[in-house]
Each structure stands twice: as C-alpha cells, then as structure tokens.
Amino acid sequence: MADVRGFLARRRVTLGFVAAAATLWLAAPTWASWTIGLAVAACGEALRVWAAGHLEKSREVTRSGPYRFMRHPLYVGSAVMALGILVAARSPVAALLTVLYMVATLTAAIRSEEAFLRERFGDTYDRYAAATAEPVYRRFSVARAVRNREYRAVLGVAAGFGLLALKLAVPL
C-alpha cells in the first residue's frame, strides 16, 4: 500500500494532466457554468497563492497565513479549484473521475508529506498537527509565492478555463 501511495504522490501532476484531458473531452460547459466555475476556481487559487506566500518548504513547519487555520491549505485550494473546473465542465462522468483522482492523489500526498514533516521536525510538527503549536505572524510574500512556483497553478487553471471557453466558442 505504501508503494501505491508513493506512486500516486509522485505522479499526481502527470495524472492530473490525464484527468484534465478527460475532463475537457467530456465537458459540456455553458457560459453560466463556466462563469460560476471560474469564480469557484479563483477562490481555490486565491487560497493557494495565500498559502504559497507563507510556505517555507522543507525549512520549517509553517504556521503563518492560512497554516494558522488548516494543515493543508494548498491541497484544500487545489480541491476547490477542481470543484470549480467540474462546475464549469458540467459532466457527471468527469466529476466522478476527478473526485476519484483527487481523493487518491491528495490522500497519498498528504500522508507522504506528513510522514516527511514528522521525520524532519518531530515534536514541532506533532504540536502543529494537534493544533497546540503557537501560530507565527509574518507577512505574505509575493517573492515566496513565486519561489514556491505557484505561478504554475495560476497558469494551469487559466489554461483549463481558456480551453473550456474555446470549447464553448468553437463547438465540435
């Protein structure tokens, strides 16, 4: 089971491209679903950007920004973005495939990440996970968000909605 979890955690981006292609192919968007979906996905991306602007990957147990309120804001943001895409796509089959993809890959990624953090930071991570660690108050940093390559998710969601808009504008 650990091997499957590791595979899913390492390949979640590649598998995400497969899920995105299937969603695009199965999509039956309307301009109304596209607009509502975009608003939902933008909220998810906003959470991701906020988190990325506080995250010091592998250097600390981040406890500022959205990490004060939740353990995995990047993954929560990704899930909200996926929901937005599914609202836009209006496909029950795509929704089922995407939910299966998200549950499998995010669960695997969270377990792998938590194991790494527990090994690397020990009691500090345990206290954070138990919500007993003191929060850290620091400012959001655009440079930190860029260093964490959050622009890739921004570009990805923009491309996805661009392709859905193209599908709407040029029906096959």
| Position 25 pLDDT exceeds 70 | yes
51 touches 74 (CB < 8 A): yes
Question: Which residues contact residue 4 at a Cβ distance below 8 angstroms, ignoring those fewer than 6 apart?
Answer: 108
Residue for token pair 């995105």? 20
Read off the pLDDT of residues 144-161 as tens digits, 9 standing for 90 and up.
999 999 999 999 999 999
Band (pLDDT 50/70/90 cuts) for residue 1 is low
Backbone angles phi, psi at 13, to 5 degrees: -70, -45
Give CA–CA dist 73/112, Å, rounded: 16
DSSP letter (8 states) at residue 68: G
Instruction: Determine how many CB atoms are found less than 10 A away from the CB of residue 17.
Output: 10
What is the value of pTM for the model shown? Answer: 0.90
**Tens digit of each residue's pLDDT (9 = 90 or more) over 82-129:** 999 999 999 999 999 999 999 989 998 899 899 999 999 999 999 999
In this prediction, residue 11 carries a pLDDT of 79
Task: Name which residue leads in pLDDT, 157 or 135.
Answer: 157
Residue 35 has pLDDT above 70, yes or no: yes
Averaged pLDDT for residues 51-74: 94
Residue with tokens 């921004």, as numbered in its chain: 154
Give the integer Cα–Cα distance in Å for 68 and 84. Answer: 25
Mean pLDDT taken over the chain: 92
| Distance linking the first and last C-alpha atoms of the chain | 42
Higher-pLDDT residue of 133, 48: 48
Lowest average pLDDT, out of 1-10, 37-46, 63-72, 116-125, goes to 1-10
Model pLDDT, residue 76: 97
Overall average pLDDT of the 48-66 stretch:
95
